[in-house]
Amino acid sequence: MTNRDPLYHRHRFPAEIIAQAVWLYFGFPLNLRMEEDILAARGIMVTHQTVQLWAEKIGCAFANEIRRRSSGRLGDKWHLDEAVVSIGGEKHWLWGAVDQDGFALELLVQSR
């Protein structure tokens, strides 16, 4: 018997497939049905409800792993960007600071 990560215990699909589906869910602006189609094109038949359940269960572990890997290793070049957004019909400015690897350092929304 193999030792499996307890995060993926009692799942029908292998951990690699689950990780790929959750990565697609959080990494790209796809809806669940589009993700179902992408996985089906790769020969993985899974429903969008299953992907949603996986994301709810495993998403926090993924986020914690990303935070753990990125802590203390920010790039030495930062970029500050601004965008104008409309919230409730009012104009606001969205400020974002990212490092050279695309890691968001800080986001701020201001009305003036």
Q: Which two tokens stand for residue 91?
A: 């104009």
Sheet holding 78-87, edge to edge: 78-87, 90-99, 104-110
Distance separating alpha carbons of residues 91 and 87, to the nearest angstrom? 7
Using one digit for the tens of pLDDT, what is the confidence trace for 14-28?
A: 778 888 888 888 777
State yes or no: pLDDT of 2 exceeds 60: no
The answer to whether 43 touches 58, Cβ cutoff 8 Å, is no
Q: How many CB atoms lie within 10 A of CB 74?
A: 14
The overall pTM is greater than 0.75: no
Instruction: Give the tokens for residue 85.
Output: 């957004």
